[in-house]
Amino acid sequence: MSNPRKFFVGGNWKMNGDKAAIDGIIEFMKKGPLNPNTEVVVGCPQCYLMYTRQNMPEEIGVAAQNCYKAAKGAFTGEISPAMIKDCGCHWVILGHSERRNVFGEPDQLISEKVGHALEAGLKVIPCIGEKLEERESNRTEEVVFAQLKALLPNISDWSRVVIAYEPVWAIGTGKTATPEQAQDVHAKLRHWLRENVNAEVADSCRIIYGGSVTPANCAELAKMGDIDGFLVGGASLKPDFVNIINARG
C-alpha cells in the first residue's frame, strides 16, 4: 500500500547564512527540479524571514526556527507567531534539540509555545528526540513518549502539526541511525498516537526524520513505511538538498 501522507521535507538553516548565501539557496531551489508531490519548508534565521519569503518560490514554505508563547509584550529578543505571520510566513519549528539542550527549554514551555503558535494560525514542526546516553540506556521510548505527551494538552489542530523525530546523538555527529532504527521509532510513535490521540491522527499525522540525513541515505530512509519525510540541517544549505527533496520518487 502506498503511503497516503504527503512527503514533507524541511530545511533547518540554524544560525547560518546571510543575504548572499540565501540568494544562492534560492537559486538552486528555483532550478530544482523539485518533486511536486513533496511539501517543502525552509527554516531561516528570524532576521531573514521577510527576505526569504519575498524571494523564495511561492510553493516553498518558510518557517521561523523558534517563537514565544505570547502575541506581544516585554520579552526582549523574542518573536511571536503574529510577527511571523506578518512577515508572510506560516510555519515555525519548536522544541528543536538545540533549544532543549543548548538553551534549556523544558517540555512544558515547548508545549505552551506549540499551543500558542497553533492558536495564532501557524503550522508547527515540534521536535522530539533522545540523547546518546538515553539511547544507550534503552530509554528512547520513555524519552520521546514523555516529550510527545507534554505536547498533547496544547495541540488543538493536528492537521497543522508535523512531528520531527530527531535522535540527538545522530545530529551533526556523523553517527546515523540505520533506516531500520529510524523506522522502528517512527512506528512506535505512530502507535503511541493511535493509543493516546486517535486512529485518524495516527494515520494522517506526518512524522519526519532528522538525524544527519544526506543524499546518500535519504532514498533508503524514504522507503520506510512510517517515515514521512525529513528535517534536514546542514545539507539544506547545499544544492544536494534538491536530491533529498526528491528522495521519494
116 is catalytic: no
Q: Pick the catalytic residue: 96, 98, 112, 186? A: 96
The single-letter DSSP state of residue 43 is E
Q: Report which secondary-structure segment, H or E, holds 98.
A: helix 97-101
CA dihedral of 106, 109, 110, 113, whole degrees rounded to 10: -170
Q: Report which secondary-structure segment, H or E, holds 41.
A: strand 38-44
105 is catalytic: no
* Residue whose C-alpha cell is 519548536: 94
50, burial (CB in 10 Å: exposed 0-12, middle 13-18, buried 19+): middle
Q: Pick the catalytic residue: 39, 112, 134, 166? A: 166
CA 66/CA 45 separation, integer angstroms: 9
Helix/strand/coil (H, E, C) string of 137-188? Answer: CCCHHHHHHHHHHHHHHHCCCHHHEEEEECCHHHCCCCCCCCHHHHHHHHHH
Q: Are strands 7-12 and 123-128 parallel, antiparallel or unpaired?
A: unpaired
Q: How many CB atoms lie within 10 A of CB 186?
A: 21
CA 4/CA 248 separation, integer angstroms: 13
- Which residues belong to the active site? 96, 166
